[in-house]
Structure 1
């Protein structure tokens, strides 16, 4: 059983771990610059898309603040984008829309060189830049979509209010999907597959928010050019930490294609999160409770099957591929058990000193990352201790220079 002091110390270690998982502001700005260039090209005067007001907007982990560094510096950052169009030609099907966006990308000499492949729903651009001071590795998945009339007004009004399911449903997009039965035939966007990345973002931040007046604003996150978020909510940190654990676990496995997907982890963690302000308490809670939000019955299909509800679209089952690929369900539960075992092992070292905790985290999260984390943590605590500035934040539980004065803890159950 951890003491309150040990919980606070663990929370600060995990906060430092999360800081080292964050992408840098340089990486963040490079990504924004790249997708702005794409948007400018798609909307240039002689573009076939110009009349439909194309707007590139980030989605997924980039706006949720849960994006993490890849394990190896030569691996890619994954950045998901939406190409929003206010309307389209009446004759365009999903196929036509996707093809036109792709052709416009191919018509740009620089972008044509970056175009990697056509995915099920997206076009992918791969960026590679090497210089003396900068090494950029990221790919962007661009999803063509049609927005509803008055979408921007609906969006602005929605984010002035608290989360409401009926409210965010108005933020749905009609998207292209090669696996849709009407991919080549339907010209009516209302009949196309739906996605709601900004509605999901609003739901996520409604779950994450604990200090709306001091922390990052959701209104900033959903802008086409969002501000860089320097601080993170405990929920964001927990999602980052669990994604890193998954990436390490499946790094060298042959079945890594069937590893737990990020949207399932993010959704289940968010549903299980109970507004804990201490990261270790939040982590322990969610890993012990997230599986209870996986249902055995799908109310939409009325079938006995695993069902993980999209919180902003009940008709979408994030576990729908588990029926087609049983290995994915198996791997999810295998990963969850491993997380529980690793966190229990980590916290059980609390009475044996920092070195034992350090060692217990190296295999689950990666040697280099943990060494860097503990070096940063040690310097932070040493500097504060030497100036008698060691304090604990009464809201987040993090150790630092803000909060109430505290005694030093040697992680052996004895306060000095």
Structure 2
């Protein structure tokens, strides 16, 4: 238990070092709000709204690996043409793309057309803008009415524009429900610490064990598959992790439980095809490409096996000391992130010791007084030997 508490603290510091900085987060928000305002002013009759989806919406964004020249934040956005339900798939896609190309600013930043998105390149991040319209126009599009399904477009290899469906807002609500107890507790604490109404605290501002576990698992994947093909996609890791999460408040225990149980939520249909369904839209199979490309399936299980070894098994070997553990973690998560996390862990331990919050057990372990029956408090260290 004492080892788990130490690992909990170290992994919390690691998750913080992997998280998007407030400066970058503010820049991303400012940038996508500017895109929304620009498009909205040009197409006022369509009532255009832009909102985040994916890791930016869920609070699971991961800092790019240091030293990776192509490393940058991936920002996923939905561009909703709220009054555009009568438009064809091609019109939905091209209205957004054409307007971005008309801009002196965005014309220099836009990539060639993607299958579903238009991509804008910024310094340090790229923005994938997904054009869409409400699927059901009979009732208002909002969370209160639970009418949040959208119609998106998919351009195939024959240059045909096909209609697809998605529901990122419903997925976000499902994600919250999977960690409801810790979500509510963290939200209440943050609201009180900032002296604001709880409703003003967004999911992306919170740091729950599930969010941090997903960030750590994604970083492990990024390092393992750096420069390699078939990297497991984030939505699969996120979905399986959320399903396996069992409300643990200790981050290490949450990660251990997730890695032990996440593959139990992978299903197989009557035809033998692997199914990792969108929990809010069963017709969407996140593992559909595994059917066409079996190497993607093999890559996922290879990552899962390695993650269990690196995260669950190896860190428990404390006999060689924290220094060896730190060196091992550098190869798994990257040097800068691990150095930051251990530096912060050490600084907080020194502060706790000086404040009389650490003690020594019978077997010599240094632990927080509040978490164990301490034999003796750890004395404050001074440079003059007292």
Q: TM-score range by the shorter chain?
A: 0.7 to 0.9
**Counterparts in 2 of 1:224-373, with a 5 A limit?**
227=202, 229-253=204-228, 255=229, 258-297=230-269, 302-373=270-341
- Do the aligned residues in 2 keep the contact of 1:82 with 1:144 (CA within 8 Å)? yes
- Do the aligned residues in 2 keep the contact of 1:180 with 1:193 (CA within 8 Å)? no
Q: SS of the counterpart of 1:146? A: strand
Paired position in structure 2 for 1:31: 28
Measure how far apart 1:261 and its partner are. Answer: 0.3
- Do the aligned residues in 2 keep the contact of 1:172 with 1:194 (CA within 8 Å)? yes
Q: SS of the counterpart of 1:171? A: coil
Over 3 Å counting, the alpha-carbon distance change for 1:29 and 1:142 in structure 2 is same
Paired position in structure 2 for 1:197: 168
1:404 aligns with 2:351: no
- Do the aligned residues in 2 keep the contact of 1:85 with 1:146 (CA within 8 Å)? yes
CA distance in 2 between counterparts of 1:35 and 1:390 reads: 46
Over 3 Å counting, the alpha-carbon distance change for 1:342 and 1:378 in structure 2 is same
Over 3 Å counting, the alpha-carbon distance change for 1:251 and 1:214 in structure 2 is same
Tell me the alpha carbon deviations over residues 229-286 of structure 1, each in whole angstroms, 9 at most, x when there is no partner.
Answer: 4541111111000000000001133x2xx11000000011111111111111111111
How many residue pairs get aligned? The number is 357
CA distance in 2 between counterparts of 1:210 and 1:180 reads: 45
**Pick aligned residue for 1:66 from 60, 67, 74:** 60
Paired position in structure 1 for 2:137: 149
Q: SS of the counterpart of 1:232? A: coil
Unaligned runs of 5+ in 1: 129-136, 159-169, 187-191, 392-398, 410-414
Paired position in structure 1 for 2:95: 100
RMSD value over aligned CA atoms?
A: 2.7
Paired position in structure 2 for 1:176: 153
1:19 aligns with 2:12: no
CA distance in 1 between counterparts of 2:372 and 2:204 reads: 28
Measure how far apart 1:156 and its partner are. Answer: 3.2
CA distance in 1 between counterparts of 2:274 and 2:336 reads: 37
**Counterparts in 2 of 1:98-177, with a 5 A limit?**
98-128=93-123, 137-147=124-134, 148-149=136-137, 154-156=142-144, 158=146, 170-177=147-154
CA distance in 2 between counterparts of 1:226 and 1:33 reads: 18
- Do the aligned residues in 2 keep the contact of 1:295 with 1:307 (CA within 8 Å)? yes
1:206 aligns with 2:167: no
Q: SS of the counterpart of 2:304? A: helix
Over 3 Å counting, the alpha-carbon distance change for 1:152 and 1:366 in structure 2 is farther
- Do the aligned residues in 1 keep the contact of 2:121 with 2:127 (CA within 8 Å)? yes
Over 3 Å counting, the alpha-carbon distance change for 1:405 and 1:324 in structure 2 is closer
CA distance in 2 between counterparts of 1:373 and 1:85 reads: 43
Paired position in structure 2 for 1:394: none
Measure how far apart 1:346 and its partner are. Answer: 2.8
CA distance in 2 between counterparts of 1:199 and 1:385 reads: 45
Give TM-score scaled by structure 2 length. 0.85
Unaligned runs of 5+ in 2: 192-199, 360-366, 380-386
Q: SS of the counterpart of 1:109? A: coil
Give TM-score scaled by structure 1 length. 0.79
